[in-house]
Amino acid sequence: MSVWKHSNRYTHNISEEYQTTLGEGGTPLVRSRSIGPAAGLKNLFFKLESGNPTGSYKDRFAAVAISDMLRNGDHTCLATSSGNTGAALAAYCAAAKIRCRIAVVETAPLAKLQQMLAYGAEIERVRGFGLDASVTQSVIETLHQKAAESGYALQVSAFRWSPVGMEGVQSIAHELPQEVDHVFSPAGGGGLTLAVGRGLADTPTSVHCVQPEGNDTIAGPLRKGLAHARDVECTSQISGLQVANVIDGDEVIVTCRKSGGTGHTVTDEEVYQAQARLAREEGIFSEPAGAVALAGILQATENGEIEKEESVVALVTGSGFKDATSIELLNANSSCRLVDLTDLFA
């Protein structure tokens, strides 16, 4: 099924001549063969967003955002990214022949930078961006001012800044069975969680927000019953979720709470363990951010917050190829010998 059949309701009737698609959407939903049963969960599923063209769910955002830019006659995309948004926008800008300029967080993995450059994007890393809330806010404000010029458009994967593009992310929700009891979503600024929550608003599904402890802007306040998210000094090493500002956090709290979901915080070490388990027990190659939802599910299951018979979906948001450093850590105790034929597996 074409992605436009999934997300046309979010494109504000963008005509076919402006639609820019690379085959995004319609990603697999697979049942856990090992991790779920080991935890006592009979119905654990993984939504594999790594199956999108550039390797993450951000292609859903870029497809709608860039199509909207074409419709509006814009010639330059200005963006912020920790990696996946930049890669997606760079690819779709290349397809649409739109100039792409991206301010990147200081700690973005090299693989993500290389992917953006391969598509022809102009990128610059900003010292402190993604770690310091004031620097992060200043970067967005600077680009927002530039985007006021004719022909420019600011694309940040958050409803606060790019509501049209983010509506495309809601297509994830419409690819899930309506009888799902729980969906666990990783969160940095909260845009993905908010999109899925809005997309599932008319279903009985509980939507949960999972964050690294070192970037607890939303999940902690949500669990504590607070009304507002908070800025933090980010200490997490999980690329893609290093968003020290509130961004969509307040709306996430309202949406998750209304759905019956709550917040979950996990350590970076728990995330890396979940990443390793996905690879070695399920055959799913995920970047660390894509394993955050699973880490939250395992924690919630251990705490008795999920019934064993309930159906649970973990959003696996990006490919392991996105973060080579984390894969090197995962394989630190493994090796590949060079041997003579006579010694092969001897």
Q: Is the pLDDT of residue 242 over 70?
A: yes
Q: What is the pLDDT of residue 2?
A: 33
CB 75 within 8 A of CB 52: no
Q: What is the pLDDT of residue 3?
A: 34
Pair of tokens at residue 345:
């597996």
Q: Is the pLDDT of residue 57 over 60?
A: yes
Whether 58-164 and 3-56+171-330 are alike in CATH topology: the answer is: yes
Distance of CA 340 to the CA centre of its chain: 44
Q: Which residue has the tokens 């000094």?
A: 233
Q: Which amino acid is at 240?
A: G
**What does pLDDT average to over the chain?**
93
Q: What is the pLDDT of residue 161?
A: 92
Residues in the chain: 346
Domain ranges of the chain: 3-56+171-330, 58-164
Largest alpha-carbon pair distance within the chain? 68
Judged by average pLDDT, the poorest of 8-12, 16-20, 303-307 is 8-12
- The dihedral over CA atoms of 90, 96, 98, 103, expressed in degrees to the nearest 10, equals -20
CB 11 within 8 A of CB 171: no
Q: What is the pLDDT of residue 107?
A: 87
CATH number of 58-164: 3.40.50.1100
Contacts of 148 (CB under 8 A, 6+ apart): none
Q: How far is CA 6 from CA 40, 65, 82, 138, 219, in A?
A: 33, 15, 26, 35, 29
Q: What is the mean pLDDT of residues 52-69?
A: 97
Contacts of 203 (CB under 8 A, 6+ apart): 178, 180
Confidence bin at 5 (pLDDT 50/70/90): very low
Confidence bin at 47 (pLDDT 50/70/90): very high
- How does pLDDT run across 143-195, given as a tens digit for each residue? 999 999 999 999 999 999 999 999 999 999 999 998 999 999 999 999 999 99
Topology (CATH) of 3-56+171-330: Rossmann fold (3.40.50)
pTM of the model as a whole: 0.93
Q: What is the pLDDT of residue 249?
A: 98
